[in-house]
A and B are shown apart, each in its own frame.
Chain A
Amino acid sequence: MTPLLDVSGLTKRYGSRIGCRDVSLDLIPGEVLGIVGESGSGKTTGLNCIASHLSPDAGRITYRGHDLIAMPEPERRRLMRAEWAFVHQNPADGLRMNVTAGGNVGERLMESGARHYGNIRGAASAWLERVEIDPARIDDRPTTFSGGMRQRLQIARALVTNPRIVLMDEPTGGLDVSVQARLLDLLKKLVHDMGLAAIVVTHDMGVVRLMADRLIVMKDGQVVEQGLTDQVLDDPQDAYSQLLVSSVLPV
């Protein structure tokens, strides 16, 4: 199958320091790719480069035949607005905290040209329900929501435009374990139902075990191992992967 997203040789330096070096990966439609590694291993830098939040120093990013790096910004924004979604670790980064829940979800629709108030509100309400937020809270601001609700609201906002691809940076970071588990169930269900391709960056082995089809292990800005999730987790080949897998605390 032709990949939806094809990244090759992605390199990003911060001055003399290396963010990530020579990262290559591809993503086929409907597939969930996990990127794991310790803090500072370049996972988030790589993800931000792919999402065009950072401009890489070298490498190519091809999405459905379009070269994203060479593409002019207006065109790239339009494409990404329609077909991409990003879920931040901290919901406050992905939400407008002083805008109501309905406005937050509706903004993505209005950005892509929706101009019918009733329809926008209807879609927002349906999505709140889908992410298990009481639609009666559509006119409440995210500041009045709990951490888990905010994260679910962010997911509703990201997915309301029916994207093809969603990038997630530690989507369960900072949530307590039971909330994490429910959020993961929800995410897994949405990704499956919508046939989304997803990249999940995390340091939590449990998250990738549950969600990811394939896994990339990064260390010091480089990919040290990749393969099917079960394969990497059950039979890690690289010394660092072995360390990472064995250092999960048993419950």
Chain B
Amino acid sequence: MSDYNFAYLDEPTKRMIRRALLKALAIPGYQVPFASREMPMPYGWGPGGVPVAAALLTPDATLKVIAQGAAATTNAVSIRRFFAKVADVATTTRTEDATVIQTRHRIPETPLTEGQILVYQVPIPEPLRFLEPRETETRRMHALEDYGLMHVKLYEDIARHGHVATAYAYPLRVAGRYVMDPSPIPKFDNPKMTMDAIQLFGAGREARIYAIPPHTETVSLDFEDHPFEPGRAPHTCALCGAEHTYLDEVVTDDKGGRMFVCSDTDYCEQRRAAGFVGTKAAA
């Protein structure tokens, strides 16, 4: 244990964040302002997700941290170490063992269950940001449910590329009301967002928290004649042979060699342990 207060933040700060979380859960998809704190990590490395996780952790919690699907990447390792140090909580890389999962850019392939909480790191919480730069105006648009502009973006995609080219941070409508940015997860993960676990979104620099309660209806925006399609590379995992997971493309040499592997490393390892084999699995 360290000399820090449990989970780094002081108790009044954690209480303030919990209040924002409760409000966010009460109004699914609505961006609740909160007094974001300076965290010991640069913007883009989780100062939105970390305070949310800190407000949730209890001494008996088990924490999993993933970045880009992997538990072994720098961001995941440093945040896991951070909480192991300042909160002395158990950490894991197995999705089903975790009670709190902090993530950036992915939802685990293993379906989450009731009682688990998924915390997203969010760089830009405002789905309308690049369409309407004025924050005063976007707030008004949310308040008045004035979402025509969101479809203009999809229209422009189709006009220019023949299909909706937005591949990540694909906007969705929560509980039939607010349009929200799912953080930069691939649109492959969008259909998973109606789930049994609680989903919380923390944006540190922008000082916003929003949430999707369990079993909440989420609809990815689309056109009737161009329905939403969760995209995925048309390959199988080279290590575990999975045909239904989101894949990363890995360059293996400088002669054009490449392979596709599951982006969720924990899921891939568990499949291999269960005997699934891909084309390039090491013997």
User: A residues touching B (Cβ–Cβ < 8 Å)?
Assistant: 73-74, 77, 96, 99-100, 102-103, 106-108, 110-112, 115-118, 120-121, 138-139
Contact = CB atoms under 8 A, between A and B. Distances in A.
B179 to A, nearest CB: 13
Contacts of A138: 159
B148 interface: yes
Given A115-B223, A117-B226, A103 B156 contact: yes
Contact of B144 (A77, A100, A112, A120): A77
Contacts of B35: none
B223 A116 contact: yes
A99 B156 CA distance: 7
Looking at B143, B155, B160, the one whose CB has the most chain A CB atoms below 10 A away is: B155
25 contacts: A74-B144, A77-B144, A77-B146, A96-B152, A100-B156, A100-B160, A102-B155, A102-B159, A103-B156, A107-B148, A107-B152, A108-B148, A110-B151, A110-B152, A110-B155, A112-B148, A115-B223, A117-B158, A117-B223, A117-B224, A117-B225, A120-B155, A121-B159, A138-B159, A139-B159
Interface string B223-238: 1111000000000000
Nearest to B145: A74
Given A100-B156, A108-B148, A117-B223, 10 more contacts: A74-B145, A77-B144, A103-B155, A107-B148, A107-B149, A107-B152, A111-B146, A112-B148, A139-B159, A139-B160
Contacts of A110: 148, 151-152, 155
Contacts of B225: 116-118
Contacts of A103: 152, 155-156, 159
Interface size class of B (residues with CB under 8 A): 10 to 19
A76 to B, nearest CB: 10
Nearest to A113: B148
B223 to A, nearest CB: 4
Contacts of B160: 100, 139
Contact of B224 (A106, A111, A116): A116
A99 B146 CA distance: 18
B158 to A, nearest CB: 6
Contacts of A112: 148
B2 to A, nearest CB: 50
B148 A111 contact: yes
Looking at B149, B152, B158, B160, the one whose CB has the most chain A CB atoms below 10 A away is: B152
A73 B146 CA distance: 12
Contacts of B144: 73-74, 77
A113 to B, nearest CB: 8
A83 to B, nearest CB: 16
B159 A100 contact: yes
Contacts of B159: 100, 102-103, 121, 138-139
Looking at A102, A106, A110, the one whose CB has the most chain B CB atoms below 10 A away is: A110
Contacts of A108: 148
Contacts of B149: 107, 111
A237 B156 CA distance: 54
Contacts of A107: 148-149, 152, 155
Nearest to A139: B159
Interface string B87-128: 000000000000000000000000000000000000000000
Interface in B115-171: 143-146, 148-149, 151-152, 155-156, 158-160
Contacts of A96: 152
By Cβ-Cβ distance, the 9 closest A-B pairs, closest first, are A111-B148, A110-B151, A117-B223, A110-B148, A116-B224, A107-B152, A74-B144, A103-B156, A103-B152
B27 to A, nearest CB: 17
Contacts of B145: 74
A110 B147 CA distance: 8
Contacts of B151: 110, 115
A116 B158 CA distance: 12
Contacts of B226: 117
B152 A106 contact: yes
A112 B151 CA distance: 11
A139 B159 CA distance: 7
Contacts of B223: 115-117
A139 B144 CA distance: 29
Given A73-B144, A74-B145, A77-B144, A115 B224 contact: yes
A239 B185 CA distance: 69
Nearest to B150: A110
A117 B155 contact: yes
Nearest to A96: B152
Contacts of A73: 144
